[in-house]
Structure 1
Amino acid sequence: MIMTTILHPNLPKTVYAIQHLAFEDLGALEDVFYQYGFRVRYFDAGVDDLSAALAYDGLVIILGGPIGVYEQDDYPFLVDEISGLKQRLADNKPTLGICLGAQLIAYALGAQVYAGHAKEIGWSSLSLSEASHNPLAALGNTAVLHWHGDTFDLPAQAELLASSELYPNQAFKIGQNILAFQFHIEVAEEDLEKWLIGHTCELRKANINIPQLRQDNHRYAPELMSKSAEVLKHYLTHLNI
């Protein structure tokens, strides 16, 4: 059923999503977009020309992936992606970054992105900042999925929204249009198995207990899927366009 609520009358009704890995898609958020009457168009980084997506006036979501922002010699498409993102952010176009997407936004804003001191993979809650009208308020007592090894410094112009026990910079925003979070709120409960298969090498190397990760997914993902819809609604409603 398509919801009749108009989240933002000036927002184009197609969402562009840039993928860096096939199974790291919009997940549970995609159904929320459909319920509000949006369409979704995917672009594959490293394959598709991203210039049209990054210049788009509507919402662009930059998704996660296992590569590092600093691996531009090995993955030269990152150079053009970052260049287009810098212009997009300078134009204050609605942009949402998840994990690698958040790192790319931080880097495009002049902050450093680098390998962290430890892998953060698993479910745990966040410590939310006291930012006014924090768009992550719905996640206050909700476990989210962490899955990263890199981290970033907070961009100078950004407002910190959340931290975790391992990493202080977990989410930030700039104004109402630019939102980035290091963790994952998009993974649907039924999709995690694709991550467990696709990232098996990383999980083995980090000595992650895969059965426990699967069990935690069944425990925490249903609530997160509900709360992530609230986060998305808050963000879309408050866009300044």
Structure 2
Amino acid sequence: MARIFCIPGIIFLLLALVLSILVTISLPSLHPFDITRVTFLSGLGTISGTPDNVSGQFRFGIWGYCYQTSTTSGFDCVHTGHGYAVTVANQQGGTETVGTSWTRGLAVHAVACVVTGIAFLLSFSEHVTVTLVSSLTAFLAALLTLIAFACDIALLTWTQHQMSQLNISEHTSPGPGFWMTLVTFILLLFAGCTVCFGHRRERYVKGGAGGEYAMGGAPWWRRQQAKVRPAAV
């Protein structure tokens, strides 16, 4: 494919791949890119697997979680692997749990990242078949990213529900990784469409230069004239 037609698709795929990698690495390696965060304002008791003096924010990631304590200015992180549970208790002894079923699905981010990388590599090819496969792979990556985003929404919604049961002063909100996943999904859709349209445009241009597609891109009256034109003796 002519580079002028596939460059936008490559750029979209590159941006989607970078965002997908950052989200996939996630917590605890990159604690700014969490999926859901809970900001505790007052009334917090304890969180499972953390000291009793947790304050500030608690952040959910794909591979673990991070939290703030009153004795440190930064974050302390715990690497649990995918599928972990968190139990939060208020000062009256009431507890609510965000179970493994709500965090295990976040691993779909890693699968979507791999498929996005494959689509990015295939997009450099000028072979017609490989270009088509690249477009289809980009759409597959978009579907997987959409599934991952649905898992993010489920975690956010359930965490909000559980925190509201504790009757403590808190605010549960989506983290940067949540919105980065949405942007990645949109970029992948643009990438798949751009690569596909670029392929069709290249065929039209080749036809205009006298190739086998020239007749298909000509006006209908010219095609009719070509059909009735007598063969040269």
Whether TM exceeds 0.5 here: the answer is no
- Structure with more of its chain in helix, by fraction: 2
TM-score bucket of the superposed structures, by smaller chain: under 0.3
- Structure with more of its chain in strand, by fraction: 1
Q: Highest CA radius of gyration, 1 or 2?
A: 2
Q: TM-score, normalised by structure 2?
A: 0.26
Higher RCO structure, 1 or 2 (CA under 8 Å, sep 6+)? 2
